[in-house]
Amino acid sequence: MKKLTVLLVIVLSVLVVFSADFYIVKEGDTLSKIAKETGLTIEELVKFNNIENPDLIVVGQKLRLTPPYTQKDLNEQMVMAMLWYQNSGEMRALAYQAFNIAKLIYDMDLKEESTKPRAVIVDVDETVLDNSPYDAGHIGTNNAYPKGWTEWCEARLATPIPGAVEFLNYVAKTGGVVFYITNRSESVKQATIDNLKMLGFPFADEEHVLTKTTTSDKEPRRQLVAEKYKIVLLMGDNLNDFSSLFRKKGVEERNELVDQMKEMWGTKFIVLPNPIYGDWEGAVYNYNWGLSPEGKDKARKEHLFMWRYEE
């Protein structure tokens, strides 16, 4: 019994000091000793932990035993979403479906009298413009938004979401007005207008493209439109495109609010699919966008509902 107790103490001591991913430096340790215990080389320990002086480690120091999880690793998680977004007929079908429903709603409103001119409010990115090549370009690199975003906007290479140009021109043809409320910055406003205009979008001008100025909250801009126009419907890929109630809310709160507004979806609010990015992701991180790639990976996986088959 005494031998068993001693063995358990030794095992527990090893578990404290040595796990699958980390090693806690104890008194008498050297890198060569740790390398021997863990099966790694001194060079790997130095590289994994950015150690400047291999002869200087301190008791209690936490050493990585695996390569750091990088932004490049995290970017690999975009592959399936990007494949679906850029290649699936289902994505195109959902886009056409969204704009077909929008037209039905708009036509129904045309039958009613209005004291104000009608307006449709749309978001820009992943609602009427497809920027997926920009995001796809991060795969295989350590880059992430906002790196290169300004250059992408200035290149004016975004393409239209299926059905967007046709529907918004129909709104213009029937006497309605289109407002593009986007959180692109003022610095790329002209490039955004140019991109929209060259693709044939109506009302692509200074007055109707409302970019972010002092706040990312779109409600003040929506209210500005509501002062002079009857807003028939709003279209976006992010819940914040429809109501400020969703801002900075957690995952459960966002879902609860969606349920509370269930009568609005498909009648006043039209959502476009975007599995690539959005505030739904921020909610997973509690809006701590500064989390390390490893931290983001952990948070993402902690929010998954899993079932595993056990043999």
- Check residue 9 and give its pLDDT: 41
Compute the distance between CA of residue 227 and CA of residue 225 in angstroms, rounded to an integer: 5
Q: What letter would DSSP give residue 125?
A: B
Whether residues 150 and 207 share a domain: the answer is yes
CATH of the domain at 24: 3.10.350.10
Q: 3-class DSSP state for residue 130?
A: strand
- Check residue 24 and give its pLDDT: 94
Task: Output phi, psi for 291, to 5 deg.
Answer: -55, 150
Whether residues 185 and 277 share a domain: the answer is yes
Whether residues 136 and 9 share a domain: the answer is no
Q: Is the pLDDT of residue 125 over 70?
A: yes
pLDDT category, 50, cuts 50, 70, 90?
A: confident
Whether residues 126 and 180 share a domain: the answer is yes
Between the two ends of the chain, the Cα-to-Cα distance in Å is 34
Between helices 79-87 and 89-110, what is the axis angle to 10°? 60
Whether residues 36 and 112 share a domain: the answer is no
Query: Number of structural domains, the chain?
Result: 2
Determine, yes or no, domain membership for 41. yes
Whether residues 121 and 252 share a domain: the answer is yes
Q: Is the pLDDT of residue 20 over 80?
A: no
Whether residues 46 and 104 share a domain: the answer is no
Among 64, 81, 112, the domain boundary falls at 64
Q: Are 138 and 144 in contact (CB under 8 A)?
A: yes
Q: Is the pLDDT of residue 251 over 80?
A: yes
pTM to 2 decimals?
A: 0.84
Q: Tell how strand 177-185 and strand 209-212 pair up.
A: parallel
pLDDT tens sequence across 224-239: 999 999 999 999 999 9
Helices (H), the chain: 2-17, 31-38, 42-49, 71-75, 79-87, 89-110, 132-136, 149-155, 164-173, 189-198, 219-226, 251-260, 279-284, 293-302
Structural domain of residue 28, as residue ranges? 2-64
pLDDT, mean of residues 150-159: 98
Determine, yes or no, domain membership for 311. no
